[in-house]
Amino acid sequence: MGSLKKDFKFKLIKNFLSEGERILLKNYTNMFHLHNINDFDLSEASESSDTAKYSDLTMESLMLSKTGRVEKESGLKLIPTYSYWRCYSNDSDLKNHKDRPSCEVSISCQIDSDGTDWPIKVDGTDVHMENGDALLYLGIELEHSRDPFEGDYHIQTFLHYVDKEGPHKEYAIDKRPIYGVKK
């Protein structure tokens, strides 16, 4: 898979979002969460009050606009697959897992939080992020998780890609006809 595998397993990218992007996305996700009546993440926790959105138009646009930056940081030519964002609430967690093939190269970006430190564990290492930071990692190779969240809210977006020359390139656009639609 090229230089990404050789050089590192995961990488923290400080200030992945500009301050303007972060404020825009913070306002957008907060408003969406406050008005949400349909998009609760019931797959993660049966009684979750977390808002979660696959293929959100705003996040799909972010994913496309950040492709060049992710290519530069990874050293790979990438094809965007899909985006997903989630507003986590108190006691949310992330079970230890590896991702599906559409997440060969992933970005987990912290948009906003109440200030409660909530590291993501990647390959056994705690990675601490601040608002606007992102973690670049090999989602299908590395186990990752989070302990139960002790704060009030934490907003994260996930931007997923496949290596244009890799074994998972058939997952381009997450096998959808166009960006911004559900499967």
Helix and strand numbers (H, E) in the chain are 3, 10
Tens digit of each residue's pLDDT (9 = 90 or more) over 16-70: 999 999 999 999 999 988 887 666 554 444 456 788 899 999 999 999 999 999 9
Task: Look up the pTM and report it.
Answer: 0.91
Mean pLDDT for the stretch of residues 106-123? 97
| Residue burial 48-72, b: 16+ Cβ < 10 Å; e: rest | bebbbbbbbebbbebbeebbeebee
pLDDT at 3: 42
User: Is residue 5 scored above 70 in pLDDT?
Assistant: no
Query: φ, ψ for residue 182 (rounded to 5)?
Result: -80, 160
Amino acid at 13: I
